[in-house]
Structure 1
Amino acid sequence: MDGKDERHVLRKTGERLLVVVGLVLVLMLGRCDLTGPVDRQSLVVEAFLKTDRPLPTITLRQTRSLNDPGDRRANAAQGGTVELVLDGQLVSYEESDQRPGRYVPVSEVGDVPDRVPWRLSARWQGEKAQARGTTPPPIELSEVCVEVPPEPVQTIRVDSLRRDSLDIPAEQGYLYPVDVSLHWPADQLVAGEDTMHWVRPQLNPDTTESASRVVNFFLQPVDVRREDQFRRQEGQRAWTGVYAVPVEDSTSAFPRHDLTVTLTRGDTSFAAFARSRGDPERREPISNVDGGLGIATAVTIDSLRNAVTAGGEQCWSR
Structure 2
Amino acid sequence: MHNQTTLENIEAIRQLLAEQPSPDTLIDRLKHWQAQQNLYIKNYLYWALTTLSLIFLLAGLLFSAYYLIVSVVLFSLGIRYRIPTSELENLKEQLRVYMLEQTYKVKFQQDEPPLNHALLDHPLFQFGDKDNIVTTLLAGQIIVKEKTYDYSVFKYRYAYSVEKTDEQGQTFYETHHSNLWGVLMENFPFQGISISAAHKSRCHLGIEWQSSDIRFNQKYQQSGVNEFEFVKFLTPERLLALENMMLAFHSDFYVDPHTGLMCWLLNESPLAENNYLFQAITVNELAEKLEQLQMPKLQRLQDAFASLLKTL
**Do Structure 1 and Structure 2 share a fold, with TM-score over 0.5?**
no
Interval containing the TM-score (normalised by the shorter chain): under 0.3
Between Structure 1 and Structure 2, the one with more strand by share is 1
Q: Which of structures 1 and 2 has the bigger CA Rg? A: 2
Greater relative contact order (Cα 8 A, min sep 6): structure 1 or 2?
1
